[in-house]
Structure 1
Amino acid sequence: MADVVGLVLPFFGMILLGFVVAKLMKHPVEGLAWMNVFILYIALPALFYQLLSKTPIEQLTQISFILASMLATFLIFAAMFAGSLLFGGNVPESTIKALAAAYGNIGFMGPGLALIAFGEEAAVPVALIFCFENVMHFVLAPTLMALSGERSPGASSLALDIGRKILLHPFIVATILGVLAAAFHFRAPGALDRLLEIVSRAAAPCALFAMGVTLALRPLRRMPTAIGPIVLLKLFLHPLLCYTMLSLIGDFPTVWVWTAMLLASLPTATNVYIIAAQYGVWVERASASILVTTTGSVATVTALLYLIRSGVLPPDLFP
């Protein structure tokens, strides 16, 4: 257990450092803008590119793995969405609640924690899950908002907006370039490769620190009544369902299974707040969901890694 705590606490410690520094220094949230630009457009894309470009191309075509992971996430989304509607919620609020329950922080937290926990073998499943699950969320959110009448554009405008968000997202662009580099066995020249390596190593600590700052600077005025189901679905049922789907659908490498479970166990993504603010729906409560699930994930992610590393969980439920 000590080695798991030693692995997890420095990771969450970076979030705590960002949180504490933001509370002490009292700088405005706008001061975080350039760090977010560095993380979003440079550091994390460089990390994805570096890892994928050096991966054998045959490892990047695991369609059944992608389907199993996406199915688990979609079922969690659908369960929260349907439950919210059943108890009187409207479509826009239900969409944000469903994103809070299903959309994990797989961009800022996923790569760093997975690579620390499982080594570079975790890079490919991280990139595949990130790319395809983000595509799913980028399609679901605007489509449901349009169907509800919230800022409803025409079908062609909606399709163009969704396509632009998918194809121009820096992480997805980096993933595509990394896959192409792997397919054509391209290696960056020495100086460029070293630059990418330096930048990619900064991705995890900067992303975690920025996440802590962001959590500290968002006011928490309203705790959502749906926080219980969101915590249950995001931190407990999502990784369990992902584990079950992977065991049912295919026979995958052990590290891939553990990586998918770990990413499914991560707290609500900060993007959920951004989407809520974009549509002016459930904004403060989306922020509260991120804070509560992030705090709770310190215990749940630690427990999951302990179960994995101690051998309590088999890599396949149905061998």
Structure 2
Amino acid sequence: MLSILQVTFPFFALVLCGYVAARRRMLPLEAIGGLNGFVLFFALPCMLYRFGASTPIAQMLDATLFGVYLLCSLALVGLTVLTTRRGPAANRPGWNDTAFGALVAAFPNTGFMGVPLLVALLGAQVVGPTIVTLVADMVFTSSLCIALSRLDGAGQHGVAQALRNALRGVAANPMPWSILLGGLASVLGFSLPAPLQKTVSLLADAASPVALFTMGAVLARSQMLPSRQAASPRGWGDVPRIALYKLVLHPLLVWGAGRAAMAAGLPLDPFALTVVVLLAALPSASNVSMLTERFGADTGRVARIILLSTVVAFVSFPAAVAWLR
């Protein structure tokens, strides 16, 4: 356990540094968007391209792994929706808050934390299974939850429009495109010219520390902005329950479904299953708080879920690694 903490501690420490920097205004809140843009449009795409180009394409096209992971994510979304909307109608949150609560329960922080952390723990061979989960989360789970968020008085046309907007958002996200280009480079045996390859490597090397620092700053900003706008009407409410879903139920669902698939004779590599279980054990994705701001959901509630899951994951994630080893 101590050896695992020696690997995971620096990653969570960088998140804490970003959080403290934003809370103490050493980093202006207005600058966080610039850091986020650097990570999203430059550093992480270069990291994913480099990994994709060096990963056999078969590892990125694992249909069984994709099906197991997506099925568990959808089951978790359904459970969160059911438990959030139970009880008297007058006390239920609207579909907007329900949907983003479900998304933050099922969407791990794969981009900002999962890729660098699991590479440090298990090596570059984690990239194939990680790409499988990124596609499932960004294309399917996110699109479904955004569509659900439009059910409040939106009618059928509103839901269809929300799905189109969600897919447009996926198309504008550089990470899937960098994965696709890296996969093509792997298939074709293509190598970038040396000066360009060095540029990509420099940006890729910057991805891990800047992404983790930015994640902490985003968490701090998400907490600070609601206090200047509108406070969450439900306080902590269901925050601990949804954080528990993310950190405990999600990895257990993936592990159980994966073991069942292997017992049924489906082709599923045990190492790939370990990777996706650990990805499911990550805290909630910090970018969900940005989506709540965009769609007018309860940002304070989602920020608390992300913050609580990140804090608890400092202990729970190393425990998951030790359990799977």
TM > 0.5: yes
1:297 has 2:313 as partner: yes
Q: Distance in 1 between matches of 2:282 and 2:307?
A: 12
SS of match in other structure, 1:147: coil
Q: What RMSD over aligned residues (CA atoms) do the two structures have, in Å?
A: 1.9
Q: What is the match of residue 257 of structure 1?
A: 273
1:220-231 alignment runs, 5 A limit? 222=232, 223-231=235-243
Q: Distance in 2 between matches of 1:93 and 1:17?
A: 30
Q: CA deviation at 1:152?
A: 7.8
Q: What is the match of residue 202 of structure 1?
A: 206
1:240 has 2:238 as partner: no
Q: Distance in 2 between matches of 1:79 and 1:69?
A: 15
Q: What is the match of residue 37 of structure 1?
A: 37
Pick closer, same or farther for the CA change 1:177–1:6 going to 2, 3 Å: same
Q: What is the match of residue 61 of structure 1?
A: 61
Structure 2's unaligned 5+ residue stretches are: none
Q: Distance in 2 between matches of 1:216 and 1:163?
A: 29
1:278 has 2:282 as partner: no
Q: Does the CA contact (< 8 Å) of 2:96 and 2:149 recur in 1?
A: yes
Q: What is the match of residue 15 of structure 1?
A: 15
Identity of aligned residues (%): 27
Q: CA deviation at 1:267?
A: 1.1
1:81 has 2:81 as partner: yes
SS of match in other structure, 1:142: helix
Quick one: which amino acid aligns to residue 288 of structure 1?
R
Q: Does the CA contact (< 8 Å) of 2:113 and 2:211 recur in 1?
A: yes
1:177 has 2:193 as partner: no
Q: Distance in 2 between matches of 1:191 and 1:182?
A: 19
1:166 has 2:170 as partner: yes
Quick one: which amino acid aligns to residue 302 of structure 1?
P
Q: Does the CA contact (< 8 Å) of 1:92 and 1:150 recur in 2?
A: no
Q: CA deviation at 1:121?
A: 0.7
1:128 has 2:140 as partner: no
1:288 has 2:304 as partner: yes
Q: Which deviates more, 10-19 or 161-170? A: 161-170
Q: Distance in 2 between matches of 1:208 and 1:267?
A: 13
Q: Does the CA contact (< 8 Å) of 1:101 and 1:234 recur in 2?
A: yes
Q: Does the CA contact (< 8 Å) of 1:138 and 1:165 recur in 2?
A: no
Pick closer, same or farther for the CA change 1:157–1:78 going to 2, 3 Å: closer
Q: Does the CA contact (< 8 Å) of 2:116 and 2:208 recur in 1?
A: yes
- Aligned pair count reads 309
Q: Does the CA contact (< 8 Å) of 2:254 and 2:280 recur in 1?
A: yes
SS of match in other structure, 1:109: helix
1:102 has 2:106 as partner: yes
SS of match in other structure, 1:273: helix
Pick closer, same or farther for the CA change 1:157–1:89 going to 2, 3 Å: closer
Q: What is the match of residue 192 of structure 1?
A: 196
The Cα offsets for residues 156-209 of structure 1, whole Å up to 9 and x where unpaired, read as: 644532331122211111111112222222211222112111111111110100
Quick one: which amino acid aligns to residue 242 of structure 2?
I
Q: Does the CA contact (< 8 Å) of 1:114 and 1:126 recur in 2?
A: no
Q: What is the match of residue 114 of structure 1?
A: 118
SS of match in other structure, 2:237: coil
Q: TM-score, normalised by structure 1?
A: 0.91
SS of match in other structure, 1:107: helix
Q: Distance in 2 between matches of 1:129 and 1:74?
A: 13
Pick closer, same or farther for the CA change 1:152–1:285 going to 2, 3 Å: farther
Q: CA deviation at 1:108?
A: 0.7
Q: Distance in 2 between matches of 1:154 and 1:256?
A: 38
The Cα offsets for residues 112-151 of structure 1, whole Å up to 9 and x where unpaired, read as: 1110111011011111211222111331123112333359
Q: Does the CA contact (< 8 Å) of 2:21 and 2:27 recur in 1?
A: no
Structure 1's unaligned 5+ residue stretches are: 310-319
Q: Does the CA contact (< 8 Å) of 2:64 and 2:267 recur in 1?
A: no
SS of match in other structure, 2:236: coil
Q: Does the CA contact (< 8 Å) of 2:19 and 2:219 recur in 1?
A: yes
Q: CA deviation at 1:34?
A: 1.7
Pick closer, same or farther for the CA change 1:114–1:151 going to 2, 3 Å: farther
Quick one: which amino acid aligns to residue 286 of structure 1?
V
